[in-house]
Amino acid sequence: MYRTPVHTNETTARNGHFSTAGSIAGVNDSPARLPLRTAAAVKLGNLSSSLSQKMGLGAGGMIGGRVALKLDPQALNRLTQGRRVAVVTGTNGKTTSTMMLARAVGALGEVATNHSGANMPDGHVTALSKQPDAPYAVLECDEGYFPAVAGASNPAVAMILNLSRDQLDRVGEVRTIERSLRDAITKLQNCTIVANCDDVMVTSAAWNAANVVWVATGTGWHHDSASCPRCGNPIRWQGEHWHCTGCDLARPHPNWITADEAMITPEHQKIELRLTLPGKFNQANAVMAAAAAHAMGVRTEDAVARLRGVSNVSGRYRTIQRNGRSARLLLSKNPAGWSETLTVVKEANHPAVLVINAQEADGRDLSWLWDVPFERLQGRTVIASGERATDLAVRLTYAEVQHTIVPDPLKAIDQMPQGAVEVIANYTAFRDLNARAAADE
């Protein structure tokens, strides 16, 4: 079997610690032998990735897969054959929970997994090509590509985190996404769906699946589910319970429950989470990952012990030191994400740098800034930053949050008082800031 001669730094760093020992029933020690065409496509794809990296063109996360898919459109299907695959999708928390799940599944054997941003089929093919012998794969998947990826990769587990408004000009409306996930899930055979039952949209998408594990995450953005995605009638909430007033859609009884800093397993065992990552949202990600890992065949204690160690997800949550400032970098891409992040930064009243771009990958329409409760930052030292700092400044003005404008985020950090600073950035703003901060270190 072909083995890739060059591992990228990123892949080695990310996957180097995964155990390569052991297998469970039903999983081959190595994936199926690749047809000649796929093998050649993979070989050329890997070559492109490593060239792209060596020439400094990119991280090599997508180009290899793009080349391989051009040469063999069935590459994703062939590369997943014989592997036990988990696919992770949803609006927020995909990268973090994919990393948690990959760590947890590492208890069983080598795991092929894609990295941040490369969550479309070319990224999946790149990741699988680089680890052709890994018997397990954990794939982060863009919501829009879920039907195609799930259809091609025959997953054993599909984890559906949450669905809320995100980049409406690019991704489309939430209900359209819900309907396409619902159709795709109905077609999956022998797949366990791990779904967040505190999210009306996710529950609807997974409602008809043959095999569902429901997870109460305790998190939910309710602003996109006033009306039932199935019949349009109002959804009524009573505490954590909800039901549709027109059809039988209602919050299912959860199998796994996120409690305060802990989780309760289907066997009613309470396990302390003790995560390195902050916030309720990451507790929800961890419990979803533990439930999915369990469905992949990992003992829960092993899964939790492993995912606790996740601390820095492609630069997210990491702290950079600059001229006496200790700046924590947080990524938030849409109203639900920002709402959660503003909760995370609430406890300490640290100065905050908010960084907003509106490139293609962010969504060009910044209307969503008005769905974020920036009013919570009143009284704090705030700098509006990023390519669209003035749009943010208008929002902050009307939220009556005192602020200054410094478009360059690193300069914005330097203008803060010495000590702890929170930096919250949306997608490309975060990506660019993180790369610049890494280059400075």
Partner 1 sequence: MSESTIQIALVLPDLLGTYGDFGNAVVLEKRMTWRGIKAEIVPINYGEPVPDSCDIYVVGGGEDTAQTLAVKHLREHPGLQRAVTKNAVVLGVCAGIQIFGESFTRADNVTHPGMGLIDSTSHAGGSRAIGEVIAEPADGLFAGPLTGFENHQGRTVLGPAARPLAHVKVGTGNDGSVEGAVQGRIVCTYLHGPVLPRNPALADMLIEWATGTKVAPLDLPAVTAMRAERVRAAS
Please state the closest distance from residue 372 (CB atom) to partner 1, in A. 9
Pairing of strands 256-259, 157-160: unpaired
Please state the closest distance from residue 399 (CB atom) to partner 1, in A. 8
Please state the closest distance from residue 419 (CB atom) to partner 1, in A. 27
| Nearest by Cα to 356 from 334, 325, 381 | 334
Which residue from 17, 37, 223, 241 is in contact with partner 1, where contact means CB under 8 A?
223
Which positions ≥6 away from 367 have C-beta within 8 Å? Answer: 168
Q: Does 364 bind partner 1 (CB under 8 A)?
A: yes
Which positions ≥6 away from 216 have C-beta within 8 Å? Answer: 196, 197, 198, 240, 254, 256, 257, 258
Interface residues for partner 1 in 396-415 (CB under 8 A)?
A: 396-398, 400, 405
Pairing of strands 157-160, 84-89: parallel
Q: Does 169 bind partner 1 (CB under 8 A)?
A: yes
Please state the closest distance from residue 25 (CB atom) to partner 1, in A. 45
Interface residues for partner 1 in 87-116 (CB under 8 A)?
A: none
Identity of the residue, 281 or 374, whose beta carbon is nearer to partner 1 in the bound complex = 374
What are 6's two structure tokens? 């060059």
Which positions ≥6 away from 79 have C-beta within 8 Å? Answer: 31, 34, 38, 42, 124, 125, 128, 129, 132
Which residue from 394, 414, 432, 436 is in contact with partner 1, where contact means CB under 8 A?
394
| Nearest by Cα to 126 from 185, 180, 51 | 51
Please state the closest distance from residue 222 (CB atom) to partner 1, in A. 8
Q: Does 360 bind partner 1 (CB under 8 A)?
A: no
Q: Does 391 bind partner 1 (CB under 8 A)?
A: yes
Within 345-401, where are the H helices?
389-398
Q: Does 256 bind partner 1 (CB under 8 A)?
A: no
Q: Does 205 bind partner 1 (CB under 8 A)?
A: no
Q: Does 136 bind partner 1 (CB under 8 A)?
A: no
Identity of the residue, 398 or 411, whose beta carbon is nearer to partner 1 in the bound complex = 398
What does the alpha-carbon distance between residue 161 and residue 349 come to, in Å, rounded to a whole number?
Answer: 30
Q: Does 175 bind partner 1 (CB under 8 A)?
A: yes
**Would you tell me which residues interact with partner 1 (CB under 8 A)?**
165, 168-169, 173-176, 223-224, 226-227, 229, 232, 234, 364-371, 390-391, 393-398, 400, 405
